[in-house]
Homo-oligomer: A and B are copies of this chain.
Amino acid sequence: AVGWTDVDVRAVDTVRVLAADAVQNVGSGHPGTAMSLAPLAYLLYQNVMRHDPSEPHWLGRDRFVLSAGHSSLTQYIQLYLSGYGLELDDLRALRSWGSATPGHPEVHHTTGVEITTGPLGSGLASAVGMAMAQRRQRGMLDPDAPEGQSPFDHHVWVIASDGDIMEGVSSEASSLAGHQELSNLTVVYDQNFISIEDDTDISFSEDVGKRYEAYGWHVETVDWRQGAGESGDAVDTRGQGPYTEDVDALHAALQASRERTDKPTLVILRTIIAWPAPEAQDTGASHGSALGEDEVAATKKILGFDPAVSFPVEDAVLEHTRSVVERGRQARAAWQERFDAWRAANPERAALLDRLQAKQLPEGLEQALPTFDADAKGMATRKASGEVLSALADVMPELWGGSADLAGSNNTTMKGVPSFVPDGKATEMFPGHRYGRTMHFGIREHGMGMILNGIALEGLTRPYGGTFLVFSDYMRPAVRLASIQQLPVVYVWTHDSIGLGEDGPTHQPVEHLAALRAIPGLDVVRPADANETAVAWRTILGSVDHPAALALTRQNVPTFDRSVMASAEGVARGGYVLAEAEGGTPQVVLIGTGSEVQLAVEARETLQSAGIPTRVVSMPCREWFDEQDQAYRDEVLPPQVRARVSVEAGVSQGWRELVGDAGRMVSLEHFGASADYETLYREFGITAEAVVEAARACL
C-alpha cells in the first residue's frame, strides 16, 4: 500500500478545489476531470514517477504524457505542488495571454511539460514513440545492461480519456505498441463514461479492455465506481455501488506495470467525473465548463474547505508535496552514480551522447554524402534519397526511421541495418532485434506521424518516416503537432505527383504541396534531381528545431550536369539560378520544383533558340527561399523581370506570390487519372511546350 497520510488526502482534495477555482476564475476550461483524477495525478507525481522537479531535463526521468490535454489543470496543479516553478498566480492566469498555463499543455512553454497535447489521441500515440525511442536509445548507448539497471531505462506514463481511446490514431499506435511489446509504457484510461455529448453510451459501447488485450497489452481494471473489493469486467458496471477511490489498488496496478517486462499496460480506471461536486459530478457539463460559484462552494464544503476562500493551499500541504523535490534529488544522485559508471566504462558511447545532447551533427557527414554523376536518363529522387540514407547509416547512428508499409517504394531502409522489432518477430525479409533501427509502422500513417513526434521529444535520436505524398493527408494532424512543437522530424514522402502513374487519382497528390506549405514551420523540400536530394537531406539534418518534408519522385528524373549548370549547393538557400540566361540579361525566368525543373530546362532551350534569354530557377524549398535576405531573392528573381513562369505538377495556389501579376503558372487544378505518367503529363499539359507557351504569353 502506498500509505497516504492525512496530509496526502488533504493535498488531493486541495487539487480538486484548485481545479474548480481555476476554471471558475477564468470563466472557461475543464474542471471535471482534473477533480476526479486528482488522486491519480497526485499518485504519479508524488509516489510513482521517477522525476526531479529541480532538474526537469534529467536524462533519467520518467516521461509523463497528459493525452487528455484539455484537462491541463491535472498537470499544472501537480507541477505547482511538486515545485516545478508554477505558483498559484500561474493557476489564476489559466488560459490567459502570456501565462505559463495555456488552455492545453505546451512543451517548451511550461517547465515540466514534456509534450503538447490537446488533439485527442495524439498524446497516447506519441507516448508510444517515446517508449520506442527509449528502447532504441538504450540499445544505442547501453545495450548490455540488465533490464532496469541502465541509466537509460525509464518509463512512460500516460493519462488518456475516452476521446483518446476512440480516435483511430491511438488504435494504430496501440496496436503497434502491443506488437513492439513496449513494457516501458503504462496508459491509464480514465473511463468516466462522459464526453462532450454527455453520456458516452450515445456513441461508444465497445469493450476497451478486450480491444487492448487483442493488441497484446496487459489490461488491469481499477473500478472506483463499483465499490471497494470488487472488480468489474467490461463496461457493464456503471455507477453500481458506492464510489470509493481505492488509491492502493491503483498504486498496485501502476507499480505492477512498471515491473512488467513483456508488454505495455492499460489501466482502466473507472471514475466519476467532477467528483465530489454534488450536482456537477457525472455530467457532461462538468467536462468543459466552469461549475458555477454555488457548485464550487458546495464542493468546498463537502471537502471541508471554506467556501469563501479561493485557491486555498495550506502551508502543511505545500511543504509536504514539495518534499518530492528532495526525493527526486536523491533518486537522481543514485542514478548519477550509475550514469558515471556507464560513462567511465563507455567512453565512445559517452562521446556520442555528448554530441547528441549538444544537438550537433557528426563529423564526416559532409564527406559521407554521395554525389551523383550527370545522367540524362537519371534516377528517381526517392532512389537518391535511399542512397543518402544508406550512406549516413554509419556516420549518424541517431538517424533512424522506416515506412508505413512502403519501405521498398519509399526507399527508406538503410542498407544492412537491422529492423527494430522484438526478438523473435523479425521476418525473412527484415532481420532485426529489439535494439534494431529500421522501423516498421505497418499501414498506420497517422500513428507513424505521432510516433515520430514522440521519438523526437525523447530528444536523443533523429527520426524519419515514409509514405506516399498523397497519404500525408492521413498524418496531417501529426505533422501540424511536429510544427507546433518544433520537432526535427523528417518526412520521406515519395510518389509526389501524377508522375506515379497508373495507380490513379486516389494515389496522385495534386493539392498536397500547397496544403503542406500552408503549415507554419514546416519546410517542404522537393529536389529536382539526385544531387539536389543529397543537399536537401544535409540541409534538413542541419536544423533541429522544426520538421521538414521531402517530396520525392517515383519516376526517374535527369541528373543534371553540374559542370554546365550551377552547383546543387544552391538547394540550401531554397531557390537558386540553375541555368543562367544566355545572350543578355534574362527576359524571362522559369521557376520549377522537383520533376518539373527538367521541363523548365527543356523550355529554356527552346526559348534561347528563339533568341529569348531565359533563366531557370530551381526552387526546391519555398520556406528556405523566403528566409533569404531581399538582396539574394532579388538576385534570383530580379524585380525588373516580370515575365515569370512557374511549373509544378500540382495546384498553383501560392505561386502567384512569386510569378506576380504578369506571370503565368503551369499547374494542375484537378485530380489526376490512371495511366502511365508520360501520358498524364502530356494529356494534362504539364510539358515543356506549355512552359514555352506560358513564357511567350507573358513576354
Residue ranges of A at the interface with B (Cβ–Cβ < 8 Å): 26, 28-29, 69-70, 95-99, 102-104, 106, 116-120, 162-163, 166-172, 175-176, 178-179, 195-211, 213-216, 284, 403, 405-409, 419, 421, 425-430, 440-447, 470-471, 473-474, 476-477, 480-481, 483-484, 501-507, 510-511, 514-515, 517-521, 651, 653-654, 656-657, 660-661, 669-671, 673-676, 679-680, 683
Residue among A210, A214, A514, A669 having the largest count of chain B Cβ atoms under 10 Å: A214
Chain B residue numbers with a CB within 8 Å of A445 are: 167
What residues of B have a CB within 8 angstroms of the CB of A106 in the complex?
A: 504-505, 674
Q: Which residues of B contact A473 (CB under 8 A)?
A: 476-477, 480
Known: A206-B214, A520-B670. A197 touches B440 (CB 8 A): yes
Query: What 5 A-B pairs come out closest when comparing CB atoms?
Result: A168-B168, A102-B674, A203-B442, A97-B675, A118-B506
- When the two chains form their complex, are residues A653 and B502 in contact, meaning their CB atoms are under 8 A apart? no
Q: Write the chain B residue with the least CB distance to A670.
A: B520
Instruction: Please tell me if the beta carbons of B502 and A28 are within 8 angstroms of each other in the complex.
Output: yes
Q: Are A207 and B214 in contact (CB under 8 A)?
A: yes
**CB pair B427 A202 closer than 8 Å:** yes
- Asked if B405 and A163 sit within 8 Å, CB to CB, the answer is yes
Known: A96-B676, A166-B444, A168-B447. A428 touches B504 (CB 8 A): no
**A202 interface neighbour in B104, B202, B430, Cβ under 8 Å:** B430
CB < 8 Å neighbour of A441 from B96, B203, B653, B676: B203
Asked if B26 and A502 sit within 8 Å, CB to CB, the answer is yes
Knowing A203-B179, A671-B484, A674-B103 are in contact, say whether A443-B679 is a contact too (CB < 8 A).
Answer: no
Q: Is the CB of A430 within 8 A of B197?
A: yes
A-B pairs with beta carbons under 8 Å apart, 30 shown: A28-B501, A29-B502, A95-B504, A97-B675, A97-B680, A97-B683, A99-B674, A102-B504, A103-B502, A103-B507, A104-B674, A116-B505, A166-B444, A167-B168, A168-B170, A168-B172, A168-B444, A179-B206, A195-B442, A197-B403, A197-B429, A198-B427, A201-B427, A204-B442, A211-B214, A514-B518, A520-B651, A521-B671, A653-B657, A660-B661
Chain B contacts for A483, CB-based, 8 A: 671
For A507, the chain B residues whose CB sits under 8 A away are 103-104, 118-119
**Bound CA span A408–B517, Å:** 33
Contacts of A175 in B (CB 8 A): 166, 204, 206
The reply to whether B476 and A674 form a contact with Cβ atoms under 8 Å apart is: no
Residues of B within 8 A of A680 (CB): 97
Residues of B within 8 A of A409 (CB): 196
Instruction: For the complex formed, measure the closest distance between the CB of A555 and the CB atoms of chain B, giving whole angstroms.
Output: 12
Known contacts A168-B169, A171-B172, A474-B477, A504 near B206 by CB under 8 Å: no
Contact present for B405 and A197 (CB under 8 Å):
yes
**12 extra interchain contacts, Cβ-Cβ under 8 A, other than A168-B171, A179-B204?**
A70-B503, A103-B504, A166-B443, A171-B172, A197-B405, A198-B427, A200-B442, A202-B426, A202-B430, A284-B429, A473-B476, A656-B656
CA distance A197 to B476 in the complex (A): 23
A116 and B428 in contact, given A175-B206, A440-B197, A657-B656 (Cβ under 8 angstroms): no
Nearest residue, chain B, Cβ from A101: B674
Within the oligomer, what is the number of copies of this chain? 2
Minimum C-beta distance from A633 to chain B (A): 15
Q: Are the C-beta atoms of B671 and A406 separated by less than 8 Å?
A: no
Judging by beta carbons under 8 Å apart, are A428 and B199 in contact? yes
Pick from A99, A207, A211 the residue with the most CB of B within 10 Å: A211
**How far apart are the CA atoms of A117 and B504 in the complex, in Å?**
11
Residues of B within 8 A of A29 (CB): 502
Question: A442 and B179 in contact (CB under 8 A), knowing A403-B197, A504-B118, A515-B518?
Answer: no
Taking the closest CB of chain B, its distance from the CB of A348, in whole angstroms, is 31
Query: Quick check: A163 and B443 within 8 Å, CB to CB?
Result: yes
A428 to B476, CA, bound (A): 36
Q: How far is the CA of A514 from the CA of B511 in the complex (A)?
A: 10
Q: A675 near B95 (CB under 8 angstroms)?
A: yes
Q: Report the Cα distance A674→B109, complex, angstroms.
A: 12
Q: Is the CB of A511 within 8 A of B519?
A: yes
| A179: chain B residues within 8 A (beta carbon) | 203-206
**CB <8 Å contact, A202 and B504:** no
Expressed in whole angstroms, the minimum distance between the Cβ of A451 and any Cβ of chain B is: 12
CA distance A679 to B477 in the complex (A): 26
Cβ–Cβ < 8 Å partners of A171 in chain B: 168, 171-172
- Please, which residues of chain B bring their CB within 8 A of the CB of A679? 96-97
Q: What B residues does A502 contact at CB under 8 A?
A: 26, 28-29, 95-96, 103
Query: Chain B contacts of A520 at CB under 8 A?
Result: 510-511, 651, 669-671
Q: Which of B26, B168, B408 contacts A196 (CB 8 A)?
A: B408
A215-B211, A502-B28, A669-B520 known; A167 vs B163 contact (CB < 8 Å): no
Contacts of A430 in B (CB 8 A): 197-198, 202
Chain B residues with Cβ below 8 Å from A207 are: 213-214, 216
With a cutoff of 8 Å between Cβ atoms, the chain B residues found around residue A118 in the complex are: 503-504, 506-507
A674 and B117: CB pair below 8 A? no
- Contacting residues, chain B, for A511 (C-beta < 8 A): 480, 515, 518-520
Q: Is the CB of A653 within 8 A of B203?
A: no
Query: Is the Cβ of A443 less than 8 Å from the Cβ of B506?
Result: no
Question: Which residue from chain B places its CB closest to the CB of A168 in the assembled complex?
Answer: B168
Interchain nearest-CB distance for A665 vs B (Å) = 10
Q: Roughly how many angstroms separate A170 CA and B406 CA in the complex, as a whole number?
A: 19
Taking CB atoms, residues of chain B closer than 8 Å to A425 are: 201-202, 205
Instruction: Tell me the bound Cα distance from A358 to B209 in angstroms.
Output: 47
Interface contact B178-A172, CB-CB below 8 Å: no
The residue that A506 contacts in the complex, of B96, B119, B203, B675, with Cβ under 8 A, is B119
A503 partner, pick from B98, B103, B201, B214, beta carbons under 8 A: B103
Q: B170, B213, B214, B477: which contacts A208 (Cβ < 8 A)? A: B214
The one of B172, B406, B428 that contacts A166, using a Cβ cutoff of 8 Å: B172
Nearest Cβ distance between residue A423 and chain B, in whole angstroms? 13
* Cα–Cα distance between A586 and B189 once the two chains are bound (Å): 60
Contacting residues, chain B, for A197 (C-beta < 8 A): 403, 405-408, 429-430, 440
- Chain B minimum-CB-distance residue to A477: B473
